[in-house]
Amino acid sequence: MSLHLWCSSKNIAKDLVRLHLFQITLTDATTKWYVILVTTFHATFDTIATSFLSYFQFLIRHDLGLKILTDFHQNTTTHIVDHIHEWHRRHVL
């Protein structure tokens, strides 16, 4: 979520860039998950984000949460924390 919101705030929309940034942010359990996942092809950031959320999310409804995340766009009157709180408010069970 943080990576997606950061990319949105910087107007980074190209999938190749977002996929690369995603890869370099992984640590510990997420790195292990990604190494196992490389046998599966992910052509877009959205497909890998959905796989990530499906594997690591517990109490959040990712089917709707991803839609909200991909629709967020930061402007000069909003702060990233506002988006995080709104997403959390709508999708925590």
Q: What is the pLDDT of residues 28-70, one digit of tens each?
A: 888 888 888 766 677 788 888 888 887 887 655 545 556 666 6
Count of domains in the chain? 1
- Is pTM beyond 0.85? Reply is no
Reading the block at residue 84, the tokens are: 């995080």
CA distances from 62 to 3, 11, 51, 58, 76 (A): 16, 23, 10, 9, 27
User: The domain containing residue 85 runs over which residues?
Assistant: 2-91
- DSSP-derived letter for residue 22 is H
Helices marked H in the chain — which ranges?
Answer: 2-9, 15-24, 28-37, 45-56, 62-71, 80-91
Reading the block at residue 52, the tokens are: 């990530």
In this prediction, residue 93 carries a pLDDT of 45
In this prediction, residue 79 carries a pLDDT of 75
